[in-house]
Structure 1
């Protein structure tokens, strides 16, 4: 399993906890935690060479890097 997938799994858990929460502050805390886990997953994909550095943080969604071809 990719390292970034483990981080995304944590984001999903936080998202579920946020939806279940009735407390506004707790819900906001879990949403911030979810966003942080997703950012860490994007960074891990960048560290693993799966996305380009510029694309890692564009619009909050990773864009897969195209393989480079040596001429």
Structure 2
């Protein structure tokens, strides 16, 4: 199993915990943890060369 898949499994577990959480603070905490695991999975995919790096646009000034 790839490392990114393990991170995604952790994200899924956090989402399940969020659904069962009693109270808004716990729900938000688990949701943020799921977001963090998902971000780690995407970064690991990038590090493994499975997805291209994000390209950023540079703004170009137009002469008036």
Q: Shorter-normalised TM-score: what interval?
A: 0.7 to 0.9
Structure 2 unaligned segments of length 5 or more: list them. 56-64
Structure 1 unaligned segments of length 5 or more: list them. 56-71
Q: Which structure ranks higher in relative contact order (CA pairs < 8 Å, sequence separation ≥ 6)?
A: 2
TM-score, scaled to structure 2:
0.83
Looking at CA atoms only, which structure, 1 or 2, has the larger radius of gyration? 2
Q: Give the alignment's Cα RMSD to 1 decimal.
A: 1.0
- Number of aligned residue pairs: give it: 55
Moved over 3 A (4+): none
